[in-house]
Amino acid sequence: MADNKKHDGHMESLMNQLAESVLGLSDEAVLAETNETGTDPEQEAERTRLVLRHAAKAFDNVNNRLLDLDHAVNSNDWRRGRSGYHNTCLNCGSSVFITATGGMRGQALDGQCPESDRYTTRRREASC
Amino acid sequence: MAHLLPYLEPPSTPLPPPLTSPRSINASPKSALLVENDEHLLNFFRRSLTDEGYAVRTAADSEEALRLYHDCAPFNVVLIDYYVPQKNGSGIDCLVPQTHGIGLARAIREINLSQGIIIAALDYQTAQEVTRPRELMHIPLLIDISNFQLRGLLEKIEVDRMLEMLTTAELLKLQRFADFRVRGLGRAADGRTGKDLLGEAVVRTLTGAEDTQKGRHWNKNVDFVQHLAGAIRSISNCWKRHCKEEVYLVSELVIHDVEGQEYSPLDNLASEQVAADQCLIEKDEESRVLATFKDDSDATHVLQGLLNGLKKHEIMLRYGLGEKQYAAVVKRIRVKLMGLKSGGTRGEKHGR
């Protein structure tokens, strides 16, 4: 049993150190290494960019949906939970979740905000 | 609603072509063009943008805005009021809604397709009510003047811009970094890949969410690649922690015996004991990695050193490796392990 405990995390430590070593590489070195693995660097980089774009788009989709339904969430109030990222509508208190893979769910997405004017400041108020 | 779409008419004198070498408005790292003819709103937005670190140029109508855009673009963001007139001053029919914001957004987009634009449509209750042509549907709308909505949109535009600016080498580094982090997680990866880790790093950046319950968006003083790497570290640690917590949740199952005495079915296990199957998987993985390099003694030494928790200089000292030699060995290890992953012999099995 003691051996088990001693053994814990060695592979993690090894892989994490290899990960850190990648960050210290020059641009030329990382391109050369990618070539050596038999992968086209440009193609792989674009695949990675697509993943990043997709995640950003998923966040857009959630916000657009909330906007369509007149819910107002504070962009600084997102909290990480087990199943993703959680926020609540400032007006009605209903919940919204973005999953780590970009999915969305929650009561706030089910319908129009019933108390949409509580915290929403409109032009005429701002102009006074 | 057709009257809400009088697109920007072409100016009487043709505008000069966009400058090939744009003159930035100043040395400020972030710049904004604010197009607003309502004085109160102008002051409000200018203050908000300045507070967020933007150097702000202002225009009161769409013609002036377009001229400024030609002279000073690109801007980090262009914030346009939906109800901006085409031309300021006398001769404007105050009874007719001046909705040239949409036309201006379209004109700017024709000049620079990737220009970050926000349209302030504060007279509307929902985004659905705001009439826009299809090609502008992706432009974010500011419906609520509260600072948090504007801040969120600005953050999104900045992150989008940075994602597009990532170079091939930076993208590859991030991908490799994420792949190695996931591989180190073992079973805790739970079938997730480096790409899942990268995607969540972007979501976390945009939500600004942290486990500490204190929101933290991208600190613009930190290099964006370093920021994403930090998010990846944090998320992978989080996955690991959750995996460990799940073990504890099982151990917390409480059973009551006939005398009402509480006990757990796992009471006889040491509290800090690593799950045996997890340990076996890890040992198996270690053996597999070492076997891959059985004909490379330097690589085997470095791997054994790293597996035993030695630091770089300790490994170099113990095995008599110079700096260049050590770097070359680590490179061989990375390339081979990544090559194995590309070949599909790893990864899928991992963490299932």
| Residues A118, A71 share a domain | yes
Q: Are B325 and B304 found together in one domain?
A: yes
The verdict on B245 and B139 lying in the same domain is no
The distance of Cα A120 from the centroid of its chain, to the nearest Å, equals: 26
Q: Is residue B157 part of a domain?
A: yes
* Overall average pLDDT of the B216-242 stretch: 86
A34 and A49 fall within a common domain: no
Shared domain for B96 and B245, answered yes or no, is no
Q: Could you tell me if B116 and B31 lie in one domain?
A: yes
Among B38, B114, B126, B193, the strongest candidate for a mutation testing the A interface, having the largest count of A CBs within 10 A, is B126
Residues B125 and B242 in one domain: no
- For residue B96, what are the domain limits? 6-165
Report d(CA B13, CA B23) in Å as an integer: 22
Does residue B183 fall inside a structural domain?
yes
Are residues B62 and B81 in contact, defined by beta-carbon separation less than 8 angstroms?
Answer: no
Longest C-alpha distance within chain B, in Å?
Answer: 94
In a domain, B217, yes or no: no
Asked if B199 and A116 come within 8 Å (Cβ–Cβ), the reply is no
**Residues A90 and A108 occupy one common structural domain:** yes
What is the model's pLDDT at position A24? 92
- A79 and A46 within one domain: yes
Q: What are phi and psi of B76, to 5 degrees?
A: -65, -35
Which chain B residues have a beta carbon less than 8 Å from that of A128? 40
Q: Do residue B16 and residue B63 come from a single domain?
A: yes
A74 lies in the same domain as A109: yes
For A5, the domain range is: 1-38
- Collapse the DSSP code of B300 into the 3-class scheme (helix H, G, I; strand E, B; otherwise coil) and give the result: helix
Judge if B334 and B246 occupy the same domain: no
| pLDDT at residue A84 tops 70 | yes
Chain B residue nearest residue A75, CA to CA: B152
Task: Give the C-alpha separation, B161 to B152, whole Å.
Answer: 14
Residue B124 counted as domain residue: yes
Same domain (yes/no): B265, B281: no
Query: What's the rounded Cα separation, in Å, for the pair B331 and B325?
Result: 10
Long-range CB contacts for residues A100-103, cutoff 8 Å, separation at least 24: A100/B196, A100/B199, A100/B200, A100/B203, A100/B235, A101/A58, A101/B196, A101/B199, A101/B200, A102/A54, A102/A55, A102/A57, A102/A58, A102/A59, A102/A61, A102/B199, A102/B203, A103/A58
Residue B324 confidence class, pLDDT cut points 50, 70, 90: very high
Question: How far is Cα B145 from Cα B162, in angstroms, rounded to an integer?
Answer: 25
β-strands B55-59, B117-120: how paired?
unpaired
Residue B176 DSSP SS3: helix
The mean pLDDT of B215-244, rounded to a whole number, is 84
CA distances (Å), origin A7, targets A10, A13, B276 = 6, 11, 11
Confidence label for B269 from pLDDT (cuts 50, 70 and 90): very low
Domains of chain B: total: 3
B22, B149: one domain: yes
In degrees rounded to 5, what are phi and psi of residue B81? -75, 135
Q: Which tens digit of pLDDT belongs to each residue from B70-94?
A: 999 889 999 999 988 877 654 555 5
pLDDT at A105 over 50: yes
Confidence of residue B149 (pLDDT cuts 50, 70, 90): confident
B44 and B108 share one domain? yes
Specify whether A27 is located in the same domain as A45.
Answer: no
| B198 neighbors A81 (Cβ within 8 angstroms) | no
DSSP assignment string, chain A? -HHHHHHTTHHHHHHHHHHHHHHTS-HHHHHHHHHHTT--HHHHHHHHHHHHHHHHHHHHHHHHHHHHTT----TT--EEETTEEEEE-TTT--EEEE-TTS-EESGGGTS--TTTTSSPPPHHHHH-
Percent of chain B scoring above 90 in pLDDT: 40
For residue B352, is it within any domain? no
Nearest CA in chain B to A122: B122
Say which of B173, B333, B337 has its CB closest to residue A30: B173
Residue B25's pLDDT band (cuts 50, 70, 90): very low
Average pLDDT over residues B194-209: 89
Q: What's the domain count of chain A? A: 2
Asked if the model's pLDDT at residue B55 lies above 70, the reply is: yes
